[in-house]
């Protein structure tokens, strides 16, 4: 991904701003303009609304990466996981703040805003979300009352124009 494209997409990436179809209730991240779930796609075009993901979810699949990608040399092994968010969309991201061996399917995690990597000699720093465990002893059942902590609220984040 080019740097220009990265920065253009950054606000919604770390705000986890998706979209939701008001016809069938399916949430999407990244946001979509048309709902592929609805039988009649065209009817959903005007029915998509902005939708903020909480950043909470659980690990549904993961891999422990031992071969570093460029820029990740200091971080191997690291965990790359598919996280099914409370709202439905599945996100891909690194899981941090625990030993790779402790990651398991069903682990409750929350997206946090972190430095992702540093690029080349110019030192361009990319930021985005990573996932950290909500709490290893947290056994609250899903769907109960919960605090709604935003995934990331950097003060300087610009809202993309609607
Ligand atoms: Zn729909």
- For 58-75, write each residue's pLDDT tens digit: 999 999 988 877 765 657
pLDDT value at residue 10:
54
- For 89-142, write each residue's pLDDT tens digit: 999 999 999 999 999 999 999 998 777 677 777 677 666 788 999 964 444 455
Query: Cα–Cα distances in Å, from 62 out to 80, 103, 110?
Result: 6, 8, 15
23 CA → ligand 1 middle, Å: 5
pLDDT value at residue 95:
93
37 CA → ligand 1 middle, Å: 5
46 CA → ligand 1 middle, Å: 11
Residue bearing tokens 């984040």: 157
Token pair of 138 as six digits: 């947290």
Structural contact between residues 14 and 21, judged by C-beta atoms closer than 8 angstroms: no
pLDDT value at residue 153:
43
| Neighbour count for residue 70 (Cβ, 10 Å) | 8
48 CA → ligand 1 middle, Å: 8
- Over residues 68-87, the mean pLDDT reads 82
134 CA → ligand 1 middle, Å: 30
- The rounded percent of the chain whose pLDDT value lies above 90 is 41
How would DSSP label each residue in 55-111? Answer: -EEEEEEEEEE-SPPTT-GGG-SEEEEEEEETTS-EEEEEE-SS-GGG--TT-EEEE
Spatial neighbors of 23 by CB under 8 A, at least 6 apart, are 35, 38, 43, 44, 47
160 CA → ligand 1 middle, Å: 23
29 CA → ligand 1 middle, Å: 14
H or E segment to which residue 13 belongs: helix 3-15
Angle, alpha carbons 103-105-107 (nearest 5°): 65
pTM for the model stands at 0.67
Q: pLDDT band at residue 11, thresholds of 50, 70 and 90?
A: low
126 CA → ligand 1 middle, Å: 33
């Amino acid at each position: 991904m080019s740097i220009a494209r990265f920065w253009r997409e950054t606000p919604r990436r770390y705000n986890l701003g998706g979209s939701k179809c008001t016809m069938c209730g399916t949430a999407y991240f990244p946001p979509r303009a048309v709902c592929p779930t609805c039988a009649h796609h065209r009817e959903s075009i005007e029915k998509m609304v902005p939708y903020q993901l909480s950043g909470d979810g659980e690990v549904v699949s993961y891999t422990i990466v031992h071969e570093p990608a460029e820029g990740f040399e200091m971080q191997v092994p690291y965990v790359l996981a598919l996280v099914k968010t409370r709202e439905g969309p599945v996100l891909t991201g690194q899981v941090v703040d625990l030993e790779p061996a402790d990651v398991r399917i069903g682990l409750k995690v929350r997206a946090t805003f972190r430095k992702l990597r540093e690029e080349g000699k110019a030192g361009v720093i990319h930021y985005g979300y990573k996932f950290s465990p909500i709490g290893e002893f947290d056994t609250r059942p899903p769907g109960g009352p919960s605090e709604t902590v935003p995934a990331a609220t950097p003060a300087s984040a610009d809202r993309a124009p609607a």
